[in-house]
């Protein structure tokens, strides 16, 4: 699919360079750069912010004397609310629960980071294999396309129908996902700007990147930002950051994250002439069956399935005329 989507770029490069080997090599290399560099940058930014937040909370000794930190002013709104919450906890031991939660989060992060580090050789191998395959698919794309068309056991017009549907759904899924991710990033950046969160443009860009990653989404950015505002408000006995954090939390859930599920199936369905329900089922089923790449493969497979069903119905109708 990457080779197919980047084929127009390859044709333009070939028109300039006039050499299939060099043109396909350049496009394959650029694909690797485009797919890896932004994620490396974003991972560095998020890690830096997470470390800074951890240090801030650690300096405040949040996990060992939360009540004393928050209740420096016994009559403050923050203190009264915390005491109310603590009253519902067994043994009123809030510090224990905070320490336990921090410990679990730390272990989870360390385990996953260790797994990521140990997986780097496999990731590099997969990237090399991807680049190698994309290179040959671009270089020999026309021959491969002709071979596929020749072996499909369909009539000529049906073959064209299948290829046209594949083209439409592939481009629709790819470009609509990018478009919706940009919209989510812009909305997230606007929310950060209006609520006074630092670097709204930078974090809007980060949200665009994470919006393209299934299972994560923009919540990776706006949720910690909202919780950070709420915690800082409690620690400083200031209601303004708390209110901003709650507003950002609601804005992230209702606006930034929800728009993905509302407009994406509709746009893909309209562009590719596929029912939005099939698109939604294709995305969810694809993710469950194929993992990360499933959000692209799922809708494509379902769309092709419906195309073959349509071909079957057409052929069946024609056969009835003879029997």
The sign of the torsion formed by the CA atoms of 234, 240, 244, 249 equals positive
The per-residue b/e assignment along 65-96, b for 16 or more CB within 10 angstroms, e otherwise, is ebeebbbeeeebebbeebeeebeeeeeeebbe
Q: State the pLDDT at residue 59.
A: 58
Question: In sequence order, which ranges of the chain are alpha helices (DSSP H)?
Answer: 2-17, 20-59, 66-70, 77-87, 94-139, 141-151, 156-194, 200-211, 219-235, 239-251, 258-272, 276-290, 294-320
CB 280 within 8 A of CB 231: no
pLDDT cut 90: percent of the chain above it: 8
pLDDT tops 80 at residue 2: yes
Domain ranges of the chain: 1-149, 152-314
CB 13 within 8 A of CB 23: yes
pLDDT in tens, 246-299: 899 899 988 888 888 788 888 888 877 788 888 888 888 888 888 878 888 888
Give the residue, 2 or 105, on which the prediction is more confident: 2
pLDDT in tens, 161-204: 888 888 888 888 888 888 999 999 999 999 999 988 888 888 88
Q: Which two tokens stand for residue 48?
A: 């830096």
Tokens 């980071």 correspond to 113
Q: How confident is the model at residue 81 (pLDDT cuts 50, 70, 90)?
A: low
Q: State the pLDDT at residue 50.
A: 66
CB 279 within 8 A of CB 265: yes
Residue 303, CA distances (Å) to 161, 278, 283, 311, 315 in order: 12, 8, 11, 12, 18
Q: State the pLDDT at residue 58.
A: 59
């Amino acid at each position: 699919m990457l080779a197919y989507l980047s084929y127009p770029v390859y044709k333009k490069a070939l028109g300039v360079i006039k050499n299939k080997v060099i043109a396909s090599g350049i496009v394959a290399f650029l694909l690797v750069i485009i797919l890896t560099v932004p994620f490396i940058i974003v991972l560095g930014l998020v890690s830096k912010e997470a470390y800074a937040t951890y240090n801030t909370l650690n300096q405040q000794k949040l996990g060992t004397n939360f009540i004393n930190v928050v209740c420096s002013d016994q009559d403050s709104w923050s203190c009264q609310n915390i005491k109310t919450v603590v009253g519902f906890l067994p043994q009123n031991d809030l510090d224990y629960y905070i320490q336990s939660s921090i410990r679990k989060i730390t272990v989870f992060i360390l385990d996953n980071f260790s797994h990521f580090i140990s997986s780097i050789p496999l990731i590099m191998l997969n990237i090399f294999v991807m680049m190698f395959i994309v290179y040959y698919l671009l270089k020999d794309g026309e021959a491969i396309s002709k071979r596929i068309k020749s072996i499909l056991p369909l009539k000529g017009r049906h073959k064209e129908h299948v290829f046209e549907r594949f083209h439409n759904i592939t481009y629709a899924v790819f470009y609509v996902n990018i478009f919706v991710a940009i919209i989510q990033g812009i909305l997230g950046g606007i929310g950060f700007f209006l609520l006074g969160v630092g670097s709204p443009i930078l974090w809007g860009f980060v949200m665009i990147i994470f919006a393209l990653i299934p299972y994560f989404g923009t919540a990776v950015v706006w949720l910690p930002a909202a919780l950070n505002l709420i915690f800082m408000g409690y620690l400083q006995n200031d209601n303004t950051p708390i209110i901003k954090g709650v507003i950002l939390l609601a804005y992230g859930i209702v606006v930034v994250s929800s728009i993905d599920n509302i407009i994406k199936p509709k746009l893909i369905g309209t562009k590719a002439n596929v029912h939005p329900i099939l698109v939604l089922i294709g995305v969810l089923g694809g993710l469950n069956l194929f993992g990360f790449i499933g959000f692209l493969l799922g809708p494509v497979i379902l769309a092709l399935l419906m195309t073959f069903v349509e071909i079957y119905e057409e052929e069946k109708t024609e056969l009835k005329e003879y029997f």
